[in-house]
Amino acid sequence: MNYKIKCIREKMKLLNIQGLIITNPVNIRYILSIPVEGKILLTDKENIFITDARYIEEVNNFLTINDEFIIYDQKDLSDIDNQTFFSECENVGFEEEYVTYSQYENIVRIYRIKNMEETEKIIEKQRMIKDEKEISLIEKACQITDLCFEHLKQFIKIGMTEKQIAFEIEKFFIQNGADGVAFDTIVASGENSSKPHAIPSDKIIKQGDPITIDFGAKYKGYCADMTRTVFAGEPKEEVKKLYNYILKNQLNATKEIREGTSCKLIARNVENNFYLYSYNLIHALGHGVGLEVHELPILSHNSQTILKENMIVTNEPGIYFQGQYGIRIEDTIRVGRLESEVLTKSSKELTIVG
């Protein structure tokens, strides 16, 4: 059987659910490894993928006998068929964080389900640990992102707008084999850099501006996520000092990222160091990266997760002075058993551009 389904079925036993309905397209892509639309039903007897004419051929060609999936065209299923799938299941799980209230009611009606059970992100939790193939795709996404940063160091000139730079990033990604951007690129210069989630604007890069670039390529569905703050000309001493302070925290946190350490502890450590110097970490220290750019686990003081080998997470401390400027440094990191591997390899030394 598809090993991902095998793991899910083990967790289903622990949750005492005999059936599971999977409709979140990201979870479906994770399980089937191809981008197709439809829904997966795991019943007490079978693994079922229900799709439509647009995808039937592709899915049939891609899945092998080892996947042990039965594929149906939605339009060939009668009411009776639908009512039979879960007829022997006492409890059927669903994705309560994805399914709308209205879809929930439809599912109960169409499949005549006796008892629906919330599943608390079982698949999202499984997705935290990446397999070899997933890691190689994320590595490739990170490589393209690194190449792009090399290019940007030459490309960025005083007088350009933030939008121009953001657009160049997307163009570079596509020309270098990526699907595109993994998320909306942030290019925030001057006082815009004080907003952690700034949108690229028509603001022109000026002499002395810090420029925070938060960007990542998507490659065959998998994301990279990296931030570098660069400077259009030599920054003031205090800015340099702050940059190196953040970098030191980022490097220290990276050293702690390995199997067995708790996400909470790693985040708290940076938060506490910030407090000591009267700074404030106003967002999480990091998050998982995979098919989505923000996945589990979260690296914050609220997190309950213990890191495991082959989780892929970001480490992105930042400090922001509202209305003035901000600095953030972020890498995508593969958690290792003894030490971790930084997948985004671009230099983090203070970089002058323009």
Q: Which residues bind a copy of itself (CB under 8 A)?
A: 53-54, 94, 96-102, 104-105, 118, 163, 167, 170-171, 174, 195-197, 282
Bridge partners of 327, per DSSP, are 319
Least Å distance, CB 74 to a copy of itself, is 13
Q: Which is nearer to a copy of itself, 161 or 262 (CB)?
A: 161
Chain-centroid distance of CA 205 in Å reads 29
- Is-contact 180 220, C-beta < 8 A? no
Residue 308 exposed, middle or buried by CB count within 10 Å (0-12, 13-18, 19+):
middle
Least Å distance, CB 201 to a copy of itself, is 11
**Would you state the structure tokens that stand for residue 119, as one six-digit string?**
């599943």
Q: Is the peptide bond before 317 cis (omega within 30 degrees of 0)?
A: no
Q: Which is nearer to a copy of itself, 207 or 324 (CB)?
A: 324
Q: Which is nearer to a copy of itself, 38 or 235 (CB)?
A: 38
Least Å distance, CB 192 to a copy of itself, is 13
- Is-contact 205 232, C-beta < 8 A? yes
Order of all β-strands in the sheet with 180-181: 180-181, 217-219, 222-223
Least Å distance, CB 167 to a copy of itself, is 6
Q: Which is nearer to a copy of itself, 13 or 75 (CB)?
A: 75
Q: Which is nearer to a copy of itself, 137 or 343 (CB)?
A: 137
Bridge partners of 211, per DSSP, are 189, 230
Least Å distance, CB 164 to a copy of itself, is 9
